[in-house]
Amino acid sequence: MHKLNIGIVGATGYTGVELLRLLARHPNANVVAVTSRGEAGVHIADYFPNLRGVYDLVFQNPENAQLEQCDVVFFATPHGVAMRDAPALLAAGVKVIDLSADFRIKDIPTWEKWYGLPFTAADALAEAVYGLCELNREQIRNARLVANAGCYPTCVSLPLIPLLKNQALLPDMPIIADCKSGVSGAGRKAAVNTLFCEASDNFKAYGVAGHRHLPEIRQTINELQTGIADKLIFVPHLTPMIRGMLATTYVHLRDGVNPHDLLTEFYADSPFVDIMPIGSSPETRSVRGANICRIAVQRAPEFDGNVWILLSVQDNLVKGAAGQAVQNMNVMFELAETTGLDDVAVLP
C-alpha cells in the first residue's frame, strides 16, 4: 500500500501529539520527521508518554529534518511560522497542511490586524484553500496548501453552512454563537491561567472584546450569504474539561425554513457530520477522541418567531484540529476521506 512520507513541524503541543496518535494507525502514513527547536534530540516517547512503543522518532531541528523530501508537512506551530517556512516547501513540491491560522484569512489587512504581524506570503495565500472539507472538498482535492479550519470556526460554521447556502437567515437579526471549549484549546505552554488549580472547577468567558476566530467565521458566512456576516456575535467560554467544544448558536430564520431538513440534506454524504434527530442534545463526550461533529437543532420554545437553537459538538483536538488535518490529507492524496479516522469516541 502506498505510504506517504510525513513531517510535522512543531510537534510538541497538543495538536502535535494528537496528529501523532491518529497517524500511528493510518495505513498510508509514514511519519519520518518531527521537529522542535526546544526539544531537539529528545525521543518523542520521553516527551509524550502515550507514544512509548508506538514511534521511534527523535525531535529534530527543522533545518536538519529534510522536510523537502516529505510528501506532506503539517505545521502545528504558533502563527507566523508556516507563513515563513511553507513557501519553500511548496516550491520543493511538498504539500502543506497548516494547523495554524496563517493562511485562513484571505484579506491580508484583516489578518494583520488580528494577528499583529506583517503578512509576508501573499503568493502562498493566493493558492491556499480553507481546510473545511464539508465546505471545500473539491478545492482541497487539488490543493497544494491547505489552511486547516480553526476549532471554533469549524464548530460554529458546520451548522450554519447549509442555512447560509439557502439564504435562510433573516438579514437584520443577530447570529449569536455562544461557545464553550475545553482547556486543551489553550495549548500546552506554561501559563498560570491554564493551571489545574486555576481552570478546574471554574467557568468563565474570555476574549469577549474580540477573538481571532471572529473574522474567520465571518469570512465563511460572507462567502455564503451576503450582508449578514457583521451580525455575528461570538463569545467563547473556558470549560473545566480537557477536550471538547460545544457551540450554542441562535439564529433567526425565514418563515417556513426548517433547519433540520437543510442540514440533513446538505450533509448526507459527509461521513464526519452527524445530524441528530430534532430535539436531541449532543454531548461533548459523544465525540471524545473521534473525528465527528454532531449537530442537533431545536426551535426556541414559547417564542414568537422562527428562532432556532443550533447545538454542535466536536473534539476540539480532532475534528477541530488534528483529525480535520488528516481528513484534509486524505482528500488531498485521493485516499478515502475516512482512512485512519474510524476511532470510536471514548465514553466514559
Apex CA 265: angle with CA 267 and CA 174, to 5°? 80
- Residue from 27, 42, 120, 203 binding a second copy (CB under 8 A): 203
Give dist(CA 330, CA 10) in Å, integer. Answer: 21
Q: Which three cell numbers stand for residue 79?
A: 502563527
- Residue from 237, 258, 270, 333 binding a second copy (CB under 8 A): 237
- Residue from 58, 144, 250, 264 binding a second copy (CB under 8 A): 250
- Residue from 107, 208, 226, 338 binding a second copy (CB under 8 A): 208
Q: Which three cell numbers stand for residue 178?
A: 455562544
- Please identify, among the stretches 30-38, 142-150, 241-249, 323-331, the one whose residues bind a second copy according to the rule CB under 8 A: 241-249
| C-beta neighbour count of 267 within 10 angstroms | 20
- Please identify, among the stretches 66-74, 84-92, 101-109, 189-197, the one whose residues bind a second copy according to the rule CB under 8 A: 189-197
- Please identify, among the stretches 89-97, 115-123, 162-170, 185-193, the one whose residues bind a second copy according to the rule CB under 8 A: 185-193
Closer CB to a second copy, residue 101 or residue 246?
A: 246
**Spatial contact of 61 and 13, defined as CB atoms under 8 Å apart:** no
Q: Is residue 340 a contact point for a second copy (CB under 8 A)?
A: no
Give dist(CA 231, CA 55) in Å, integer. Answer: 47
- Residue from 56, 63, 109, 192 binding a second copy (CB under 8 A): 192
Cβ contacts of 179 within 8 Å, gap of 6 or more: 152, 155, 156, 234, 235, 236, 237, 245, 246, 247, 248
Q: Is residue 255 a contact point for a second copy (CB under 8 A)?
A: no
- Residue from 5, 139, 194, 264 binding a second copy (CB under 8 A): 194
Site for a second copy in 37-96 (CB under 8 A): 48-54
Alpha carbon 221 to chain centroid, angstroms: 16
**Spatial contact of 105 and 125, defined as CB atoms under 8 Å apart:** no
Q: Are strands 232-238 and 245-252 parallel, antiparallel or unpaired?
A: unpaired
Q: Is residue 288 a contact point for a second copy (CB under 8 A)?
A: yes
**Least separation in angstroms between CB 338 and a second copy:** 11
- Residue from 79, 212, 213, 243 binding a second copy (CB under 8 A): 243
**Least separation in angstroms between CB 316 and a second copy:** 11
Site for a second copy in 294-333 (CB under 8 A): 294, 298, 300-305, 307, 309, 311, 313, 317
Q: What is the DSSP letter of 341?
A: -
Supply the residues annotated as catalytic: 151
**Spatial contact of 167 and 148, defined as CB atoms under 8 Å apart:** no
Q: Which helix (H) or strand (E) holds 237?
A: strand 232-238
- Residue from 202, 227, 265, 336 binding a second copy (CB under 8 A): 202
**Environment class of residue 80 by beta-carbon count within 10 Å: exposed (0-12), middle (13-18) or buried (19+)?**
middle
Q: Which of 257, 263, 320, 254 is nearest to 291 (CA)?
A: 320
Give dist(CA 123, CA 97) in Å, integer. Answer: 16
**Least separation in angstroms between CB 59 and a second copy:** 15
**Least separation in angstroms between CB 90 and a second copy:** 30
Assign 204 to helix, strand or coil. Answer: strand
Q: Which of 130, 295, 139, 293 is nearest to 222 (CA)?
A: 130
- Residue from 7, 10, 16, 289 binding a second copy (CB under 8 A): 289
- Please identify, among the stretches 119-127, 145-153, 206-214, 219-227, the one whose residues bind a second copy according to the rule CB under 8 A: 206-214
Rg for the chain, CA atoms, rounded:
20
Number of residues this chain uses to bind a second copy (CB under 8 A): 91
Q: Is residue 254 a contact point for a second copy (CB under 8 A)?
A: no
Closer CB to a second copy, residue 62 or residue 215?
A: 215
Site for a second copy in 165-184 (CB under 8 A): 174, 176, 178, 180, 182-184
Q: Is residue 109 a contact point for a second copy (CB under 8 A)?
A: no
